């Protein structure tokens, strides 16, 4: 079942590319931009995350946290983050495979991957904006800016 705007965001605890456990509820009091993507090292995902790195992350207020999530292993996330210079957490939804993506309604059961879903979660843990794009369609950075500005 998909998470909708106005609902409380499902809590989760996933390891980032350094093996550090990140718990959504531990970020209460901050705005979270939760970005699900299919796979590290894939072309569209590369374009999206480098755009977040180059055009968005450095301009965000300090109370906004970007979290990127895929079903790749923590080790794959680390290799990709090191190669690309991603400083925001890349979270591994590897095992149980896709459990967090499934909780947000953005897991493709047939292909075993996360869809391109983004959820902006307010300081109280409520989803205030979301977008889900087809696998081959990148999300627009300007949409993120507009949604974050409205909070």
* Residues with catalytic roles: 45
* Bridge pairing between strands 13-15 and 31-36: unpaired
| Phi and psi, residue 115, nearest 5° | -75, 170
Cα dist. 105→9, 12, 74, 99 in Å? Answer: 11, 14, 22, 10
Across 10-144, where does the E strand assignment appear? 13-15, 21-23, 31-36, 64-70, 90-92, 107-108, 113-114, 116-121, 127-133
Distance, in Å, from the CA atom of 4 to the CA atom of 77, rounded to the nearest integer, reads 28
Q: Please tell me the distance from the alpha carbon of residue 56 to that of residue 53, in angstroms, as a whole number.
A: 6
């Amino acid at each position: 079942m998909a998470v909708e705007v106005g609902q409380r965001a499902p809590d989760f605890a996933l390891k980032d590319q350094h093996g550090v456990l990140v718990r959504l509820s531990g970020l209460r009091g901050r705005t979270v931009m939760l970005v699900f993507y299919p796979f590290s090292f894939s072309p569209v995902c590369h374009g999206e995350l480098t755009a977040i790195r180059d055009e968005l992350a450095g301009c965000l207020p300090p109370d906004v946290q970007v979290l990127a999530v895929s079903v790749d292993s923590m080790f794959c996330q680390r290799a990709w983050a090191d190669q690309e210079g991603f400083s925001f957490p890349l979270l591994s939804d590897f095992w149980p495979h896709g459990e967090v993506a499934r909780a947000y309604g953005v897991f493709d059961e047939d292909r075993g991957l996360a869809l391109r879903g983004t959820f902006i979660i307010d300081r109280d843990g409520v989803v205030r904006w979301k977008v889900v794009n087809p696998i081959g369609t990148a999300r627009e950075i300007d949409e993120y800016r507009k949604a974050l500005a409205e909070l």
